[in-house]
Amino acid sequence: MNQRHLPEHPDFLWANPEPKRRYDVVIVGGGGHGLATAYYLARYHGISNVAVLERGWLAGGNMARNTTIIRSNYLWDESAAIYEHALKLWETLEDDLDYDVLFSQRGVLNLAHTLQDVRDSVRRVNANKLNGVDGEWLTPEEVAKICPILNTSPDTRYPVLGGTWQPRAGIAKHDHVAWAFARQADAYGIDLIQHCEVTGFLRDGDRVVGVDTNRGPIRAGRVGLAAAGHSSVLADTVGIRLPLQSHPLQALVSELLEPIHPTVVMSNHVHVYVSQAHKGELVMGAGIDTYNSYGQRGSVHVIEDQMAAALELFPIFAGAHLIRTWGGIVDVTPDASPIIGLTPLENLFVNCGWGTGGFKATPGVGWVFAHTIATGEPHPLNEPFSLTRFTSGALIDEHGAAAVAH
C-alpha cells in the first residue's frame, strides 16, 4: 500500500497567542466586524495593543453563515451614507489588505411585484441618486435582459413589474474577507484569541476596565462589543438593556452548477435573494424564523417557503438540488438599523443590531467603530445610529429597504 503524504500546510495567516493580562483595547467577538475594527484601530489610529476575543473560532458565526451580498441602495440618508461608505471601502479593499476576497461587482436587482413595490422602488432609486448612490429603475424587459433566467412573464402569481438596479453592488467571498482582515491585524501585532469566551465585565464604578473570560480576567482601557446575536446576553451582565431580539436566520446552497445566474436578485415581496457563488453554488437566504432563539438552526418550513418562491421566479432551478442549509443568530432592532456607539458605561462601546444585513457593512463598520473606540466619540457616519435614538424617537426606519431581504 502506498504511503500517502498530505501536502505541506500553507503558512498560517495569523498566530494563536496566549492572552496578555492587559490591552489598550479589547474587542469582544472575532467575526468580520470585530476583525475589521481591530485592523482599522491599528491602521488609522495607531492603536495596536489590541485583543480580539472570540469564544469559538475566528469568523465562525454569522461571518461564515451569510449570503455575501454587498449593496448600498438604502432609502434614508443616514443609511445610504454608512452603507455607501462601506461600499467605497469594498472597492479598494483587496489592494488595502493585499488579499483576494473575490469582490465581484455584478450588480443587484431588487424586484417589484405590486404597485406599491413599484412606487417604493422608484422613490428609493431617486433617494439613492440624491445621495450619490448608483441606481436606476428598470422595466421588466430591461430586467430580463440583465437576468435572462428570471421568469418575467405576466402569468405568474406575482409578476415582475420592474426592478431597481445597483450596478456597483455584488458579492464577495466571506471567509476570504475575514482572513484578509485577520492577517493584516495580526501583522500589526494585534492578538487574535480564539476559544476565549467573555463571561462578564470588570468595572470600576461606571467605568468598564476589562472583561472576565473563561481564560481569566483581561484588563482593557476600552472595550468594544461586536457580538452580533449574543450582544444582549453580554450587555445583560453589566445591566445594559439593548433593544434587540435574537432570531435564527437560515440560508441554503445548491450543488455546484455551471454559471447560469449573472447577478444578484432580491425580491422582498415573494421573499427571495439569490446569487451564484464563484464556485458555482446557488446561494439563497430565507427569512428569519419568527421566534426568539439562540440555537443556530431553524424550522424546515422556512426553507421550503424560500425554495417555493425561488422556483416561481427561476423555473430553471427546478433541476437543482438542495445540498446544505444552516442557520445563524441575528440580532434585530425595532427599526431594522444597527446600533453603533457609546453605552451608559464609560469605555464600553457597542456595535450590534445589524440583524440580517451586517456582512455588506463589514469594512464600514470596522472603520467607524474603530473611530468611535479610539476617540471616545462617534464618527458623524455612525452618530445617528446611537442607542439613544430609541428614547429620542429619531429612528432610522429601514424596514422597507432592509427588513426582509439582504
Query: Nearest approach, Cβ of 299 to another protein (angstroms)?
Result: 5
197: CB partners within 8 A, 6+ apart? 53, 55, 213, 214
Could you give the CA distance from residue 188 to residue 175 in angstroms, rounded to a whole number?
Answer: 20
59-to-110, 123, 156, 194, 230 alpha-carbon distances in Å: 28, 36, 40, 10, 14
- Listed in sequence order, the DSSP H helices in 103-153 are 115-130, 140-146
Query: Nearest approach, Cβ of 388 to another protein (angstroms)?
Result: 9
308: CB partners within 8 A, 6+ apart? none
CB 313 within 8 A of CB 273: no
Instruction: Provide the grid cell at 378.
Output: 462617534
CB 53 within 8 A of CB 26: yes
- Site residues (CB under 8 A) for another protein, limited to 241-260: 241-246
| Stretch of 83-91, 104-112, 164-172, 290-298 contacting another protein, by CB under 8 A | 290-298
Binding of another protein at residue 232 (CB under 8 A)?
Answer: yes
Query: Nearest approach, Cβ of 297 to another protein (angstroms)?
Result: 9
- Between 187 and 395, name the residue whose CB sits nearer to another protein: 395
Q: How many residues bind another protein (CB under 8 A)?
A: 25
Binding of another protein at residue 300 (CB under 8 A)?
Answer: yes
CB 158 within 8 A of CB 270: yes
- Between 154 and 295, name the residue whose CB sits nearer to another protein: 295
Could you give the CA distance from residue 179 to residue 183 in angstroms, rounded to a whole number?
Answer: 6
Query: Nearest approach, Cβ of 6 to another protein (angstroms)?
Result: 37
- Between 170 and 327, name the residue whose CB sits nearer to another protein: 327
CB 269 within 8 A of CB 350: no
| Stretch of 29-37, 108-116, 293-301, 316-324 contacting another protein, by CB under 8 A | 293-301
- Between 57 and 291, name the residue whose CB sits nearer to another protein: 291
- Between 14 and 201, name the residue whose CB sits nearer to another protein: 201
- Between 3 and 392, name the residue whose CB sits nearer to another protein: 392
Interface residue with another protein among 17, 239, 315, 334 (CB under 8 A) is 334
Residues for the chain: how many in total?
406
| Stretch of 20-28, 38-46, 237-245, 376-384 contacting another protein, by CB under 8 A | 237-245
Binding residues (CB under 8 A) for another protein: these are 230, 232-233, 236, 241-246, 290-295, 299-301, 331, 334, 390-393
